[in-house]
């Protein structure tokens, strides 16, 4: 077979949800136009409602059963934790991969077990994008050998914690200094703060698990970005990682990096050279 006869790589995408993160990914893909990538469907609660900035030609669907027959390669969840349970099984049966942005859903061990079983049966894969962390390849590699500890501090301006349980623990409107209002496991953090601490599950899955990964949540009036401070130690040595992410303009609880990591995941799936 000559090079010209080989089939080109393609990636037919379906997004679950078209909120701040998904629409930002759509915007970036439209600008960058990676070869072979097409958003062919968007799943929403009400397919009859008019929505702005939808990808040209994308079909609106509202039930998991509609995934059948769409010839989807990758389903990308960007609609919040409940959507993982609603769409996960159908996504794994009707697509080659299911990318889960709301990793806090995996604190539910029974649901995770079900999805893993379906993926094994269907020959599909569950992907967990690196989200606001950009890339945790170093931590994942380090976990090949025993890890002693992993700690993840999530530091955000007070406005990013509004509308969460943080408001019950600290007066977000009068803070004058950095204040830690939660310390516990990644499982506890993600369960209690699914929008803000969702990313802690990604750290846990890359390292020593949901119950051994320690998470500290912080409101700091002196920061303007969403900050992640990760430290780990073990047989590999010692790791310290700090990221300062710009918040999404349309949602201060999420980082721009969350959308960028999905763009990288998509483009890497069709790229000839992946670094």
pLDDT tens per residue across all 275 residues of the chain: 444 455 567 899 999 999 999 999 999 999 999 999 999 999 998 777 777 788 988 999 999 999 998 999 999 999 999 999 999 999 999 999 999 999 999 999 999 999 999 999 999 999 999 888 877 889 999 999 999 999 999 999 999 999 999 999 999 999 999 999 999 999 999 989 988 888 999 999 999 999 999 999 999 999 999 999 999 999 999 999 999 999 888 887 788 999 999 999 999 999 988 88
Q: Are both 124 and 12 inside the same structural domain?
A: yes
Phi, psi angle pair for 210, to nearest 5°: -65, -30
DSSP state of 95: S
Task: Indicate whether 116 belongs to any domain.
Answer: yes
- Spatial CB neighbours of 156, under 8 Å, sequence gap ≥ 6: 196, 218, 219, 220, 223, 226, 227
- 198 belongs to an annotated ligand binding site: yes
Q: Are both 120 and 65 inside the same structural domain?
A: yes
Domain count, the chain: 2
Q: Are both 85 and 102 inside the same structural domain?
A: yes
Show the domain range for 184. 134-254
Q: Are both 80 and 169 inside the same structural domain?
A: no
Dihedral sign, Cα of residue 198, residue 200, residue 202, residue 204? negative
pTM (global) more than 0.85 = yes
- 251 belongs to an annotated ligand binding site: no
Q: Are both 8 and 110 inside the same structural domain?
A: yes
Residues serving a catalytic function are 228
Task: Indicate whether 260 belongs to any domain.
Answer: no
């Amino acid at each position: 077979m000559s090079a010209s006869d080989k089939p080109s790589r393609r990636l037919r995408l379906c997004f679950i949800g078209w909120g701040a993160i998904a629409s930002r990914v759509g915007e970036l893909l439209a600008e960058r136009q990676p070869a072979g990538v097409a958003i062919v469907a968007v799943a929403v609660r009400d397919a009859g409602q008019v929505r702005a900035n939808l990808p040209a030609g994308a079909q609106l669907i509202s039930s998991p059963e509609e995934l059948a027959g769409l010839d989807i390669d990758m389903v990308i969840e960007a609609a919040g934790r409940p959507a993982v349970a609603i769409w996960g099984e159908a996504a794994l049966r009707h697509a080659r991969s299911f990318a889960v942005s709301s990793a806090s859903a995996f604190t539910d061990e029974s649901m995770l077990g079900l999805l893993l079983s379906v993926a094994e049966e269907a020959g599909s894969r569950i992907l967990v994008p690196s989200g606001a962390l950009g890339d945790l390849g170093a931590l994942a590699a380090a976990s090949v050998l025993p890890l002693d500890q992993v700690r993840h501090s999530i530091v955000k301006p007070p406005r990013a914690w509004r509308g969460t349980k943080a408001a019950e623990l600290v007066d977000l409107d009068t803070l004058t200094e950095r204040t830690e209002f939660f310390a516990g496991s990644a499982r506890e953090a993600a369960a209690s703060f699914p929008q803000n601490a969702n990313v802690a599950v990604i750290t846990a899955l890359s390292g020593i698990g949901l119950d051994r990964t320690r998470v500290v949540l912080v409101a700091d009036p002196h920061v303007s970005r969403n900050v992640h401070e990760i430290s780990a130690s073990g047989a590999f040595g010692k790791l310290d990682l700090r990221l300062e992410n710009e918040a999404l303009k349309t949602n201060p609880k999420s980082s721009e990096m969350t959308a960028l990591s999905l763009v990288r995941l998509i483009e890497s799936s069709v790229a000839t050279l992946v670094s």
